[in-house]
């Protein structure tokens, strides 16, 4: 057999897809993904891991020199060939592979029998866009796509497996297109986007699964556990990617940590019901799979029709979780986000929600806006409550007329005044929903999703509009488009505040199509509204992080990560997201304390120190800020704007937690480095804290300084009497007035050393430990934190 180099141009750039002796070699800069066509036409998975030179892969192939016990031979003349013991690229059903199939298609004549054999392949330069869903994009210089055609002629089914190799990004995406080539209708009851059979020995024999799970105001907490026998995984059935389980997950070797070891990452470019699973059987193989959740899904295909899955994203790193995250981050920025948002600086926002709730008006907003502009904010977002009837969450959704009582001169007057203050204007919308108390619902009650003959259920007092209905889509496109064209809005927050139930539409051919068609049409609506308006920065939101996924990021610049703005909760939420999503996509605001969601009281410094590792904003009644707080906020914003590029587009690393209650984050870009050191809970008589600084040049000398921050004196209560010349009542007027105008310096620290020295871990100054205060002591207590800025002093030899 010859050696066929399929993409020689790509090979010069270090990436390649090659086909040699029936084996497909997919090569990225640091990884290899290989599979081969077996003697019976199945695709045998060979290797996904560190990059290997292309060679005869036999030594990596699964042995078949003996018959397996308790197996079914695929062919009578070849009793040692059983599909149950082979690693496979994409299994059919009913052929002797007893692991779960990614594909269940019911045909009228053979039921569920499906034997998918190789028929041919094609290679395309660049990515191939899907017809109905968003997919990652890559130019011919960045990406190469291999399409493998499989078929079962007896069943009348063709399956095309798409593999797009993003070589420099070290990512491979996969998706599947199925086609009915038979004479009768078939029903696709399950069709996942990928299957990957990995030897568990490649992950140290004791692999771990890491998922990102939660609830409203507690999204994307990382959970790490050993994979036991049988099934593990995540799924969503809420109609969106959900705050229950993010679609992204990781598999890691037993000994992997943030900086070492083998880690596989999986994600999905999809905003609907998803399933991600790992099946651990007795054969030493793990079957990883992911795609649309088959629960409640079925898709009939008439002769000649096709169905395409969402795209799955696969990455591997042998440099620990940080190595994997770096690859995923770069991939999202370069190949998922719309090109217009890629490296665009995100403005510092003021958002009206937490301070004003529904009680917005031109007068009240302008009071906040004057303060916001004075403090250095750049974008002013009018959140919920601006349209007619929207006094609370029982009314108004569906209509887009401005409330004349709140805005007697219309929104245009506000936008003009914001502009005069130097602020861009932004607006909140929730176009997928309708309240019963709205003109839209009174006119078109049939536009809401509902099971015929049964009252529809409410969530947050609202119904879900039936986006399977083209008239509804046109209405949303026209209404939001008109709002954006009537005013100079530079930003939109697109919200979605309930889950789907009563998931039935008369506008699809079968009930099992509704949830998926809704999502496909949503993406079309977003494309129609925002592609022609590239000046509008889109942020998406779904009660916070209920729809934090790659398909929403194919339209938007960032996503509101959580309605929870308590920084201690945000440590978990933002850290969880950081495994798979870059900081420029994670929207993070500072609000008042005690927090609306937890009642926790946290220092203003920590609220900033957490939010700055993301896209910064404030949701705060700025009129209530004391003079000291105003100074602090002004300095925070100036600091963020100076280092914005680093916080939004730098390389992010999580340092291995020295203690469950400490988090250490770092951003760097080769020139600058900033670290955040966070303490959730203080312990008495603490051991010295070490702060490791990663990625510096070993022989260059650096200076590390804490970012100046204020300690507000009302934090100390009666303790303040230890440092004041006269005794003060902690609840008295003298102290409360003083607290508005005076503060203490917190943690003034400075350290110098070479990169090699700093990598050992700086022995940080003492924390407060009940003995004394001075400006060099780190006054952390519960919820305390400090930022450290690293500057280069002298080049090494
Ligand atoms: C959701 C969002 C909030 C806010 C409210 C408005 O909860 O997550 O940020 O926009 O809706 O109703």
Q: Do 426 and 285 sit in the same domain of this protein?
A: no
Residue 716 belongs to domain with CATH number: 2.60.40
Helices and strands in the chain: count of H runs, count of E runs:
15, 41
CA atoms within 13 A of residue 182's CA, in its CB half-sphere: 21
Tokens of 614: 């993301």
- Which residue, by CA, sits nearest to atom 2 of ligand 1? 543
> Is the CB of residue 628 below 6 angstroms from any atom belonging to ligand 1?
no
Residue-wise pLDDT for 568-587, tens only, equals 999 999 999 999 999 999 99
Report how many domains make up the chain.
3
Q: Do 289 and 267 sit in the same domain of this protein?
A: yes
> Is the CB of residue 387 below 6 angstroms from any atom belonging to ligand 1?
no
Asked if residue 653 belongs to a domain, the reply is no
Asked if residue 655 belongs to a domain, the reply is no
Average pLDDT over the chain reads 95
Query: Which pTM was predicted?
Result: 0.96
> Is the CB of residue 548 below 6 angstroms from any atom belonging to ligand 1?
no
Q: Helix 604-611 vs helix 567-578: angle between axes, to the nearest 10 degrees?
A: 10
Closest by CA position to 252, among listed 312, 206, 290: 206
> Is the CB of residue 197 below 6 angstroms from any atom belonging to ligand 1?
no
Asked if residue 667 belongs to a domain, the reply is yes
How far from 293 is each of 165, 209, 632, CA to CA, in Å?
A: 25, 19, 47
Q: Do 384 and 500 sit in the same domain of this protein?
A: yes
Residue 585 belongs to domain with CATH number: 3.20.20.70
> Does the pLDDT of residue 552 top 80, yes or no?
yes
Asked if residue 273 belongs to a domain, the reply is yes
Cα distance between residue 37 and residue 53, in whole Å: 19
3-state SS class at 171 = strand
- Which residue, by CA, sits nearest to atom 8 of ligand 1? 543
Q: Which of 586, 617, 644 is the last residue of a domain?
A: 644
Q: What is the best residue among 219, 394, 543, 619 to mutate for testing ligand 1's pocket, by most ligand atoms within 8 Å of CB?
A: 543
Cis peptide before 594 (omega within 30 of 0): yes
Which of 545-559, 580-594, 627-641, 703-717 is predicted with the least confidence, judged by mean pLDDT? 703-717
Residue-wise pLDDT for 407-450, tens only, equals 999 999 999 999 999 999 999 999 999 999 999 999 999 999 99
> Is the CB of residue 384 below 6 angstroms from any atom belonging to ligand 1?
yes
CB count within 10 Å of CB 737 equals: 11
Active-site residues, by number, are 495, 563
Which pLDDT does position 797 carry in this prediction? 66
Q: Do 401 and 457 sit in the same domain of this protein?
A: yes
Cα distance between residue 455 and residue 11, in whole Å: 60
Residue 284 belongs to domain with CATH number: 2.70.98.60
> Does the pLDDT of residue 10 top 70, yes or no?
no
In degrees, to the nearest 5, what angle opens at C-alpha 381 toward C-alphas 375 and 383?
Answer: 130
Q: Do 51 and 173 sit in the same domain of this protein?
A: yes
Q: Which of 270, 305, 336 is the last residue of a domain?
A: 336
Q: Do 578 and 712 sit in the same domain of this protein?
A: no
Which pLDDT does position 290 carry in this prediction? 98
Q: Which domain holds residue 762?
A: 662-795
Asked if residue 66 belongs to a domain, the reply is no
436 Cα: distance to centroid of ligand 1 (angstroms): 19
- Which residue, by CA, sits nearest to atom 12 of ligand 1? 384
- Which residue, by CA, sits nearest to atom 4 of ligand 1? 353
Is residue 164 a contact partner of residue 145, using CB atoms and an 8 Å limit? yes
| Mean pLDDT computed over 348-368 | 98
Q: Do 606 and 676 sit in the same domain of this protein?
A: no
- Which residue, by CA, sits nearest to atom 11 of ligand 1? 543
Q: What ranges in 97-201 are assigned the alpha helix state H?
A: none
493 Cα: distance to centroid of ligand 1 (angstroms): 9
- Which residue, by CA, sits nearest to atom 1 of ligand 1? 543
Q: What is the best residue among 240, 498, 541, 546 to mutate for testing ligand 1's pocket, by most ligand atoms within 8 Å of CB?
A: 541
Q: Which of 336, 360, 395 is the last residue of a domain?
A: 336
DSSP-assigned letters across all residues of 262-322? -EEEEEEE--S-EEEEEEE-SSSEEEEEEEE--TT--EEE-TT-EEEPPEEEEEEESBHHH
> Does the pLDDT of residue 503 top 70, yes or no?
yes
Cα distance between residue 527 and residue 489, in whole Å: 18
Our measurement of the distance from residue 386's CA atom to the centroid of its chain's CA atoms, rounded to an integer in Å, reads: 29
Is residue 271 a contact partner of residue 241, using CB atoms and an 8 Å limit? yes
Q: Do 694 and 593 sit in the same domain of this protein?
A: no
Cα distance between residue 656 and residue 664, in whole Å: 8
What residues contact residue 171 under an 8 Å CB cut-off, 6+ apart?
A: 28, 136, 313, 314, 315, 327, 328, 331, 335
Residue with tokens 């889950």, as numbered in its chain = 499
517 Cα: distance to centroid of ligand 1 (angstroms): 25
Asked if residue 62 belongs to a domain, the reply is no
| Mean pLDDT computed over 768-773 | 86
Cα distance between residue 510 and residue 517, in whole Å: 11
Q: Do 327 and 395 sit in the same domain of this protein?
A: no
Residue-wise pLDDT for 295-338, tens only, equals 999 999 999 999 999 999 999 999 999 999 999 999 999 999 99
Q: Helix 627-642 vs helix 733-741: angle between axes, to the nearest 10 degrees?
A: 30
Burial of 230 per CB tally in 10 Å (0-12, 13-18, 19+)? exposed
Our measurement of the distance from residue 638's CA atom to the centroid of its chain's CA atoms, rounded to an integer in Å, reads: 27
| Mean pLDDT computed over 616-631 | 96
How far from 205 is each of 226, 295, 440, 682, CA to CA, in Å?
A: 10, 31, 58, 38
Q: Do 582 and 670 sit in the same domain of this protein?
A: no
Asked if residue 38 belongs to a domain, the reply is yes
Which pLDDT does position 86 carry in this prediction? 95
Cα distance between residue 52 and residue 207, in whole Å: 22
Q: Do 566 and 526 sit in the same domain of this protein?
A: yes
Q: Do 359 and 286 sit in the same domain of this protein?
A: no
> Is the CB of residue 543 below 6 angstroms from any atom belonging to ligand 1?
yes
Residue-wise pLDDT for 263-285, tens only, equals 999 999 999 999 999 999 988 99
Asked if residue 71 belongs to a domain, the reply is no
Is residue 41 a contact partner of residue 89, using CB atoms and an 8 Å limit? no
Which pLDDT does position 11 carry in this prediction? 45
Is residue 614 a contact partner of residue 561, using CB atoms and an 8 Å limit? yes
CA atoms within 13 A of residue 737's CA, in its CB half-sphere: 4
391 Cα: distance to centroid of ligand 1 (angstroms): 14
> Is the CB of residue 358 below 6 angstroms from any atom belonging to ligand 1?
no
CB count within 10 Å of CB 287 equals: 23
Residue-wise pLDDT for 30-85, tens only, equals 999 999 999 999 999 999 999 999 999 999 999 888 888 899 999 999 999 999 99
**Strands (DSSP E) along 403-533, which ranges?**
424-429, 433-435, 462-464, 489-494
620 Cα: distance to centroid of ligand 1 (angstroms): 14
């Amino acid at each position: 057999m010859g050696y066929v180099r399929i993409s020689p141009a790509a090979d010069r750039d270090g990436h390649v897809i090659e086909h040699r002796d029936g084996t497909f070699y997919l090569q990225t800069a640091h990884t290899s993904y290989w599979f081969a066509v077996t003697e019976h036409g199945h695709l045998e998975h060979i290797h996904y891991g560190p990059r290997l030179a292309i060679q005869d892969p036999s030594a990596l192939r699964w042995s078949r020199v003996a018959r397996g016990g308790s197996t079914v031979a695929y062919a009578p003349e070849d009793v040692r060939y059983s599909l149950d013991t082979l690693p496979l690229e994409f299994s059919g059903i009913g052929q002797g592979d007893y692991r779960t199939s990614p594909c269940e298609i019911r045909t009228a004549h053979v039921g569920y029998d499906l034997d998918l054999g190789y028929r041919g392949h094609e290679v395309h330069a660049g990515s191939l866009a899907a017809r109905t869903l968003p997919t990652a994009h890559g130019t011919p210089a960045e990406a190469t796509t291999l399409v493998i055609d499989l078929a079962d002629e007896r069943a009348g089914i063709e399956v095309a497996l798409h593999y797009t190799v993003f070589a420099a990004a070290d990512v491979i995406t996969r998706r599947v297109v199925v086609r009915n080539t038979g004479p009768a209708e078939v029903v696709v009851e399950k069709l996942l986007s990928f299957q990957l059979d990995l030897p568990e020995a490649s992950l140290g024999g004791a692999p771990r699964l890491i998922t990102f799970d939660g609830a409203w105001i507690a999204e994307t907490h990382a959970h790490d556990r050993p994979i036991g026998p049988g099934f593990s995984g995540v799924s969503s059935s809420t109609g969106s990617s959900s705050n229950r389980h993010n679609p992204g997950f990781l598999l890691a070797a037993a000994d992997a940590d943030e900086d070492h070891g083998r880690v596989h990452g999986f994600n999905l470019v999809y905003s609907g019901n998803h399933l991600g699973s790992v099946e651990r059987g007795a054969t030493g193989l793990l079957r990883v799979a992911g795609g649309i959740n088959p629960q409640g899904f079925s898709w009939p295909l008439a002769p000649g029709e096709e169905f395409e899955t969402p795209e799955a994203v696969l990455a591997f790193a042998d440099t620990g979780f940080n190595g994997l995250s770096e690859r995923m981050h770069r991939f999202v920025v370069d190949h998922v986000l719309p090109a217009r948002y890629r490296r665009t600086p995100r403005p510092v926002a003021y958002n009206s929600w937490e301070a004003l709730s529904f009680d917005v008006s031109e007068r009240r907003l302008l009071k906040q806006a004057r303060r916001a502009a004075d403090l250095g904010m750049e974008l002013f977002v009018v959140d919920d409550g601006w349209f007619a009837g929207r006094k609370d969450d029982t009314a108004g959704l569906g209509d887009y007329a401005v409330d004349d009582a709140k805005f007697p001169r219309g929104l245009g007057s506000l936008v003009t005044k914001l502009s005069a203050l130097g602020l861009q204007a932004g607006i909140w919308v929730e176009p997928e929903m309708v309240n019963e108390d709205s003109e839209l619902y009174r006119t078109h009650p049939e536009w809401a999703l509902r099971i015929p003959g049964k009252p529809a259920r409410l969530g947050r007092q609202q119904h879900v509009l039936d986006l399977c209905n083209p008239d509804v889509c046109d209405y949303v496109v026209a209404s939001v488009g008109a709002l954006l064209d009537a005013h100079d809005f530079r930003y939109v927050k697109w919200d979605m505040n309930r889950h789907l139930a009563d998931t039935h539409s008369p506008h699809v051919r079968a009930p099992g199509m509704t949830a998926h068609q809704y999502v496909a049409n949503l993406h079309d609506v977003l494309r129609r509204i925002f592609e022609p308006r590239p000046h509008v920065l889109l942020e998406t939101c779904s009660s916070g992080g209920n729809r934090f996924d790659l398909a929403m990021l194919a339209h938007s610049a960032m996503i509101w990560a959580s309605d929870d703005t308590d920084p201690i909760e945000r440590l978990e939420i933002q850290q969880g997201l950081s495994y798979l999503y870059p900081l420029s996509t994670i929207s993070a605001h500072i609000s008042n304390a005690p927090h609306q969601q937890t009642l926790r009281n946290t220092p203003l410094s920590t609220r900033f120190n957490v939010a700055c590792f993301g896209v910064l904003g404030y949701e705060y009644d700025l009129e209530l800020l004391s003079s000291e707080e105003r100074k602090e906020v002004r300095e925070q914003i100036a600091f963020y704007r100076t280092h914005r590029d680093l916080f939004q587009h730098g390389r992010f690393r999580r340092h291995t937690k020295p203690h469950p209650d400490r988090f250490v984050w770092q951003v760097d870009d080769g020139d600058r480095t900033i670290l955040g050191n966070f303490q959730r809970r203080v312990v008495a008589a603490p051991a010295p804290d070490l702060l490791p600084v990663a990625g510096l040049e070993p022989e260059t000398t650096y200076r590390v300084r804490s970012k100046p921050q204020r300690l507000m004196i009302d934090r100390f209560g009666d303790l303040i009497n230890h440092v004041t010349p006269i005794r003060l009542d902690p609840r008295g007027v003298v102290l409360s007035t003083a607290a508005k105008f005076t503060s203490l310096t917190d943690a003034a620290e400075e350290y110098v050393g070479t990169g090699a020295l700093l990598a050992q871990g700086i022995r940080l100054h003492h924390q407060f430990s009940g003995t004394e205060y001075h400006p060099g002591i780190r006054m952390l207590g519960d919820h305390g934190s400090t930022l450290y800025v690293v500057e280069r002093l002298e080049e090494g030899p």
